[in-house]
């Protein structure tokens, strides 16, 4: 396994070294520092027992006020997997051995109010936001657990491309919504480490500062381009083809067209007021 600081320094183009404290470079630190998304897997499915163990580990993660406002749907039915994969439209998802959907759940909270005969006086943005954050935390905890035993994962925001389909296939009731999907399996390739923006741009001490952000992004673009860059340029018919297709060019092109513009309407259709 790669050394912790080698992995971090490569990813962030940093010069980090051991801290003043004596720490063990644990396997968890090293696997987190060197992690990468995986989208190519051996065909074997995982046992339901392994999935349950990983879900239990994931749901041991913190939860806002212990509300436990997130659920995981393990999609084992092949027809449901295929329908969701078709809706998402990414070529690797049909062959992902396992597909999970992390959902925000505010229904349970509302039921508790009914059973306890207390008014639910928090029908505002938090009713949606807290479950969404809880679901994201659970997804990351699942990934950390899965990656620690050599599994590969890749999150899928595309599960929200058409929330009506996800909602119908998974039979999600009012106040329950998909946050993110996750493809899981034993990886067949080592994948590649995606280098990140420098820590000077993304980690702040005491005050937020971004005075040097333009230069930092340009330097990051250049470094990242030299290490690894996207083979396919987005929206060539609209923006043309450029010789040097950098990260910021890719992100600007990506968000130059609407993605999931109907998500807010879907969330409202599930009963959230979002006020
Ligand atoms: C919330 C979330 C949604 C994502 N959705 C997708 C997706 O729909 N399809 C995909 O291939 N990757 C998806 N990813 C993976 C990112 O593309 C990936 O994390 C990013 O490119 C950085 O690469 P790395 O994970 O290897 O470091 C998602 C990641 C997150 C955190």
Looking at residue 80, which CATH number applies to its domain?
A: 3.40.109.10
The pair of three-digit structure tokens given for residue 228, joined into one six-digit string? 């690894």
pLDDT on residue 1: 72
CA–centroid distance, 170 to ligand 1, in Å, is 22
Low-confidence stretches of the chain (pLDDT < 70) are: none
Q: Which two tokens stand for residue 216?
A: 């930092």
| This prediction's pTM | 0.97
The confidence score (pLDDT) of residue 241 equals 97
140 Cβ closer than 6 Å to some ligand 1 atom: no
Residue 222 within any structural domain of the chain = no
Residue 87 included in any domain: yes
Per residue in 144-158, pLDDT (tens digit) is: 999 999 999 999 999
pLDDT of residue 143: 98
Do the beta carbons of residue 199 and residue 14 sit within 8 Å?
Answer: yes
The minimum-distance atom of ligand 1 relative to the CA of 159 is 8
Asked, for residue 111, whether it belongs to a domain, the answer is: yes
* Within a domain: 63: yes
pLDDT at 2: 78
State the total domains in the chain: 1
Q: Which of 154, 224, 250, 254 is the pocket-test mutation for ligand 1 (most atoms within 8 Å of CB)?
A: 154
Q: What is the pLDDT of residue 58?
A: 98
Residue 158: CB within 6 Å of ligand 1? Answer: yes
Domain extent at residue 77: 48-190
180 contacts: CB under 8 Å, gap ≥ 6: 101, 102, 135, 136, 139, 155, 156, 157, 159, 160
153 Cα–ligand 1 center, Å: 9
> pLDDT digit string (tens) for 23-33?
999 999 999 99
CA distance 102 to 157: 10
Q: Could you tell which of 11, 155, 260 is best to mutate to test the pocket of ligand 1, judged by most ligand atoms within 8 Å of the CB?
A: 155
Q: Is residue 36 part of a domain?
A: no
């Amino acid at each position: 396994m790669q050394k912790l600081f080698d992995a971090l320094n490569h990813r962030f183009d940093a010069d980090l070294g051991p801290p003043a404290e004596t720490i063990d470079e644990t396997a968890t630190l090293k696997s987190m520092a060197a992690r990468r998304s995986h989208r190519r897997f051996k065909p074997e499915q995982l046992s339901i027992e392994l999935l349950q163990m990983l879900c239990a580990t994931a749901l041991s993660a913190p939860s806002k006020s212990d509300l436990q406002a997130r659920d995981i749907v393990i999609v084992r039915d092949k027809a449901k997997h295929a329908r969701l994969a078709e809706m998402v439209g990414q070529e690797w998802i049909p062959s992902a051995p396992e597909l999970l959907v992390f959902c925000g759940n505010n229904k349970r909270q509302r039921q508790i109010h009914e059973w306890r005969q207390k008014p639910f006086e928090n029908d505002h943005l938090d009713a949606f936001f807290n479950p969404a954050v809880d679901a994201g935390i659970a997804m990351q905890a699942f990934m950390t657990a899965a990656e620690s035993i050599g599994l590969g994962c890749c999150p899928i925001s595309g599960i929200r491309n058409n929330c009506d389909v996800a909602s119908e296939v998974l039979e999600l009731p009012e106040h329950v919504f998909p946050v993110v999907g996750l493809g899981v399996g034993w990886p067949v390739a080592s994948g590649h480490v995606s280098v990140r923006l420098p820590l000077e741009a993304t980690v702040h001490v005491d005050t937020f500062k971004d005075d040097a952000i333009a230069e930092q992004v340009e330097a990051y673009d250049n470094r990242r381009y030299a290490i690894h860059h996207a083979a396919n340029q987005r929206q060539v018919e609209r923006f043309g083809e450029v010789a040097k297709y950098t990260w910021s060019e890719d992100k600007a092109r990506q968000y130059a067209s609407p993605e999931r513009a109907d998500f807010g309407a879907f969330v409202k259709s599930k009963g959230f007021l979002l006020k």
